[in-house]
Amino acid sequence: MNITFIFGNGFDINLGMKTSYANFQKWYMDKYEDEYFAQVMKDDIDSGRDNWSDLEESLGKHTSCLPKDGIVTFLNNKLKLECRLLEYLKNQEESISIDYASAGEKFRVAIGNFSSAFDSDSLLEYEKFIRSVADTIDYKLITMNYTSVLDKIYKEAGKKATPVLTHRANNGVNYPDKISKPLYLHGRIDDPNNKNGMILGVANEEQILNADYRDRNLCADYIIKESLNRKIGARNVEQAKNIIDNSRYICIFGASLGVTDNALWKYLGTWLLSGEGKRLVIFVRDTTVVEGVAMSQAMSKDRQRDLFIERAGIKDEIRNTVAQRIIVCLNSPIFDLK
């Protein structure tokens, strides 16, 4: 039985890495302001679009102003943009100083105690569930990031404790639990076997606004994330779906729930409806929340539930059912590993 964590860019940022789209925008515009996608990026900056999903969405939108015979040029320039991103992220990873041994131990503890961020009702429900599990719990890790920092932290997480984690069931037995190797859903920048490179793109054909660019053979398979994943034979999507299918709790941390990952959010929505006991936990950093004011907290949580429900394409008649299965944790320090 799985408890799964899905990590977005907020995880790397928590470690002190300057890996936000806004960070990359500044670096790119300073260094490559004459390149093809500089104007696209400038438009994003002017519009306050500073999530990675905004860049990916802009790729699809940008095709609307391109000629039918411009596909090769567009793809060549997309490739150049990805090479610049690769350069930037490698520089970031090389320049950051992380005590991986310390971060690994903190990570292990955080995984085992993630429910400490729950409200009282959700915590009671979770503790009852954990006590009912008379078997090993496999904590699965899925990352939407490209850097190797999560993998390095994971490798340190099990060095100081054997077993890595435990839980006590109703039968009085302490069961050994484990944390599994991270799955890089969108590839990684340091793929040792050159089989799982970085994937930047949109969620589906509808996000490619120029119909001529939706041709699978000529263009779309290089722009749509899931298609490109299949094209390189990585099977990351299939592995992620298998992990999700066998999970009881799934936690999202550091992700903006951007539209270019709608395929994932929709799959999670379907999973959430597949069993009454399934729970989706969303860790949110919301600086607008007024501490000590219940109304502010409740409104923030409802906004996050509404955003996920919208992204997952949940129908109105089952909206309340889904909302009741979503736990929102506000401004939790859970993965502050520095």
Instruction: Give the DSSP H/E element, type plus range, for residue 174.
Output: strand 174-179
Dihedral, CA of residue 212, residue 218, residue 219 and residue 221, to nearest 10:
130
User: What pLDDT score does 161 carry?
Assistant: 86
User: What pLDDT score does 116 carry?
Assistant: 97
| 160: pLDDT strictly greater than 90 | no
Q: Which of 91, 90, 76, 88 is nearest to 37 (CA)?
A: 76
Dump the DSSP string for 291-312. Answer: TT-HHHHHHHHHHHHHHHHHHT
Radius of gyration of the chain (CA): 21
Q: Which of 118, 76, 100 is nearest to 219 (CA)?
A: 76
| 203: pLDDT strictly greater than 90 | yes
Number of Cβ atoms within 10 Å of the Cβ of 226: 18
| 130: pLDDT strictly greater than 90 | yes
| 127: pLDDT strictly greater than 90 | yes
Dump the DSSP string for 31-55. Answer: H-TTSTTHHHHHHHHHTT--SHHHH
Question: Predicted confidence band at 193 (pLDDT cuts at 50, 70, 90)?
Answer: confident
CA distance 50 to 33: 17
Q: Would the pTM of this model clear 0.75, i.e. be above it?
A: yes
Number of Cβ atoms within 10 Å of the Cβ of 251: 23
User: What pLDDT score does 226 carry?
Assistant: 94
User: What pLDDT score does 239 carry?
Assistant: 97
For residues 93 and 142, the answer to whether their CB atoms sit within 8 Å is no
| 192: pLDDT strictly greater than 80 | no
Question: If you average pLDDT over residues 63-71, what whole number do you get?
Answer: 94
Angle at 108 between CA 105 and CA 113, to 5 degrees: 125
Question: Predicted confidence band at 140 (pLDDT cuts at 50, 70, 90)?
Answer: very high
> Which bin fits 78, alpha (ψ -120 to 50), beta or left (φ > 0)?
alpha
Inter-axis angle of helices 294-311 and 262-273, nearest 10: 100
As given in the structure block, the two tokens for residue 319 are: 């909206």
| 194: pLDDT strictly greater than 80 | no
User: What pLDDT score does 40 carry?
Assistant: 87
User: What pLDDT score does 196 carry?
Assistant: 86
Question: If you average pLDDT over residues 232-248, what whole number do you get?
Answer: 96
Spatial CB neighbours of 71, under 8 Å, sequence gap ≥ 6: 212, 213, 215, 218, 219
| 204: pLDDT strictly greater than 90 | yes
Beta bridge partners, 178, equal 138
Question: If you average pLDDT over residues 154-164, what whole number do you get?
Answer: 91
Question: Predicted confidence band at 312 (pLDDT cuts at 50, 70, 90)?
Answer: very high
Give the single-character DSSP code of 88: H
Give whole-number Cα distances, 252 to 114, 141, 144, in Å: 11, 10, 11
User: What pLDDT score does 3 carry?
Assistant: 99
| 198: pLDDT strictly greater than 80 | yes
| 284: pLDDT strictly greater than 90 | yes
Domains of the chain: 2-14+99-191+235-330 (3.40.50), 21-95+198-231 (no CATH)
